[in-house]
Amino acid sequence: MGLLQGVSYIVYENSNIYEDRLFVDMKSDCRKCFGLCCVALYFSASEGFPGDKEAGKPCSNLKKDFRCSVHKDLQEKGHKGCTSYECFGAGQKVAQTTFKGQDWQKDIESAQQMFNAFSVMRQLHEMLWYLTEILLIKIDSNIRNKVEHLINETEELTYLNANDLLELDIDSHRVKVNSLLKKVSEHVCVKYYEDKRKTFKGKRTISRRLDLIGKDLKKTDLRGENLAGALLIAADLRGNNLAGTNLIGADLRNVDIRGANLTESIFITQSQINSAKGDSNTSLPIRIKRPRDWS
């Protein structure tokens, strides 16, 4: 990692109750779901899925018992999109809570409603993931209170019945969440950013760009950068230190993060990591599992 090492500004809380939420409530549990992502979503072969499929139609590999017939061979068969997808626990919430265990095969009338509810629930659970992640960090109590308040509000929405869920103004809620996430990102990341500006006098940083596809960023100091929504597809970040880097919504497909340090990156998801190319020398945040195919 060489020149890109630096001071650590993110301090994690010890034995944080919020870790459980991230590890259990906001992780997909396919055993409690009805294969909702394999039915409800549209996908295409160009995005690493098994083929083109219309939203609302079951994937041809989905069995009657909602298991995937090629589950063990998804990687080998080139279904990377399936292995990197994460519903943040929305599937089991819709199946077991919103629809109380009534699956779409038995209740064909409400199938479409269930698929639509899944789409709303996934957005709510994704927001909960990001908000909860903030509470793992020691942070200003004023911000912490606001985050806790918004978590409670968002969580309440996840218990709405299907009709109310579908009428929810999810966009307005997302604006509220995004604005708070942005504030937190500025609060946390600015310290890394200032630190590196002092060290390198502003050199070796990047301008705020979204299109970084295929770029060689091995020697670019990305600490404290806001890479929200950036396209980093197949970029080379080997050995980079991404401390305090905001990666919310960044497209990390095939980005090379072998040997990189992401332990203090913020707003990163399992799905992003599953789509990237790492190895045993890649350091990940505690909330993220190392993909099985990384050597």
- Binding site residues, ligand SF4, CB under 6 A: 38, 50, 59, 61-62, 68, 70, 79, 82
Enumerate the H helices of the chain as residue ranges.
17-20, 36-40, 80-84, 90-93, 111-134, 141-158, 162-167, 170-200, 270-274
Nearer to ligand SF4, 59 or 232 (CB): 59
Q: How far is the CB of 139 from ligand SF4 (least distance, A)?
A: 37
Q: How far is the CB of 39 from ligand SF4 (least distance, A)?
A: 8
**Measured between alpha carbons, how far is 121 from 14 in angstroms, rounded to an integer?**
30
**Measured between alpha carbons, how far is 73 from 66 in angstroms, rounded to an integer?**
17
Closest C-alpha to 28, from 102, 100, 92: 92
What the block records as the tokens of 256 is 């090379």
Q: How far is the CB of 30 from ligand SF4 (least distance, A)?
A: 8
Can you say whether the dihedral through the CA atoms of 229, 231, 233, 238 is positive or negative? negative
| Bridge partners (DSSP) listed for residue 62 | 68
Cβ-contact 51, 45 below 8 angstroms: yes
What the block records as the tokens of 176 is 């509220």
Length of the chain: 295
What the block records as the tokens of 124 is 């709510």
**Measured between alpha carbons, how far is 232 from 245 in angstroms, rounded to an integer?**
13
Nearer to ligand SF4, 59 or 228 (CB): 59
Nearer to ligand SF4, 81 or 239 (CB): 81
Nearer to ligand SF4, 39 or 150 (CB): 39
Q: How far is the CB of 119 from ligand SF4 (least distance, A)?
A: 16
Eight-class DSSP state of 171: H
Q: How far is the CB of 55 from ligand SF4 (least distance, A)?
A: 12
Q: How far is the CB of 105 from ligand SF4 (least distance, A)?
A: 14
Q: How far is the CB of 82 from ligand SF4 (least distance, A)?
A: 3
Nearer to ligand SF4, 203 or 292 (CB): 292
Q: What is the DSSP string of 26-82?
A: TS--GGGS-SHHHHHS-B-GGGTSSS-B-TTS--TTB-TTS-BTTGGGTTTTT-HHH
Nearer to ligand SF4, 37 or 273 (CB): 37
Nearer to ligand SF4, 62 or 127 (CB): 62
Q: Is 137 helix (H, G, I), strand (E, B) or coil?
A: strand
- CA 243 from centroid of its chain's CA atoms: 17
Nearer to ligand SF4, 47 or 194 (CB): 47
Q: How far is the CB of 87 from ligand SF4 (least distance, A)?
A: 11
